[in-house]
Amino acid sequence: MNIKIALLGGDGIGPEIVAEAVKVLDRVAAKFFHRIEYHPAPVGAAAIDATGDPYPETTHKVCCEADAVLFGAIGDPRYDNDPAAKVRPEQGLLRMRKALGLYANLRPVSLFDALIDRSPLRADVVRGTDFVCVRELTGGIYFGRPQGRDEGGRRAFDTCTYTVEEIERVLHTAFRLAMRRRRHLTVVDKANVLETSRLWRETAQRVAGGYPDVTVDYMFVDNAAMQIVRCPTQFDVIVTENMFGDILTDEASVISGSLGMLPSASLGDHAALFEPIHGSYPQAAGKNIANPMATILSAAMLLEHLGLNGEGRAVRVSVNRALVEGIVTEDLAAPGARCYGTSDVGDYVAAHI
């Protein structure tokens, strides 16, 4: 199979962790007789430095022509808390999602047995955790207009808007995913307070009629935040709006023991995008200490999205072997154990494949 992948390393540790995922993908291609063609392109602060634009048209063209996009991270401390900055790296991320029509973000939350003792929750609470959060990605308060300030800058406002069509398409994604899993969907909203949430719930109740084999329940977002910590094993698929999904998925990510372990996929109208859920971690850039596992697992999701399930499974098995053998970076190393570098971990996973 010939595969064309757009490589968007981005900022901070992004280029380093993407390089390790490429190393693993190259080994998969050699073992399973595929041909992978990579097309690097700048995004974020790196793109601002090169072109003045955090998501240049040339990068968008590379993404649209690819079978999938492998993305690292966006963010640079030079732009943090700088009110004079007219363009920021994060604007490139929002524009990329909108331009590529990436309306559904899938974040699997599961726990490797070798990392149970790294979770901040008790082993008996987290053992068996296996759910997926489906977050609507291109609507809601992050994209709503108007937004701004008035009264001399003393009052600020943001607007949360959703259309039925935006809600329906991400609900169908979540229902179809639930059909392939344990057929249980939890719709998270704040319908007791917010009009957009009431539209979400009404739409979900109507769409659910087309999926009679899926058990659907509804949960307010504050209760969902509590239940994810109290009993994460009760969930199969969670679907929610943009901001709620942003917060809940970051909360859920700590169950695994490290942000460096969780991959994600963003699906939509054009090429699907795969990325780790963590940020650019600029303090670690260039030090060969960043955990590449989430990016490697994102590459596994990329392969599975293209129908290469055996190849994706080979990556997951190799990641698990690295964890069992303790071939991990400092965020996962047991007290007193050796810490391996970013490239060491990539080398091991690739070799095990």
Residues involved in catalysis: 142, 190, 222, 246, 250
- Cβ distance 109 to 45 under 8 Å? no
State the Cα–Cα distance between residues 121 and 119, nearest whole angstrom: 5
According to DSSP, residue 211 is labeled: -
**Integer Cα distance of 307 and 232 in angstroms:** 29
> What does the DSSP 8-state code read for residue 77?
G
CA atoms within 13 A on the CB side of 352: 20
Contact by Cβ (8 Å): 38, 2 = no
How many whole angstroms separate alpha carbon 68 and alpha carbon 7?
9
What span, in angstroms and rounded, lies between the C-alpha atoms of 158 and 147?
4
Q: Which amino acid is at 227?
A: Q
Tokens representing residue 294 in the block: 């989430």
Confirm if 4 and 37 have CB atoms less than 8 A apart.
yes
Q: 144: which 2 tokens?
A: 């709503």
d(CA 306, CA 309): 8
Tell me which H or E stretch contains 184.
strand 184-189
CB 274 within 8 A of CB 301: yes
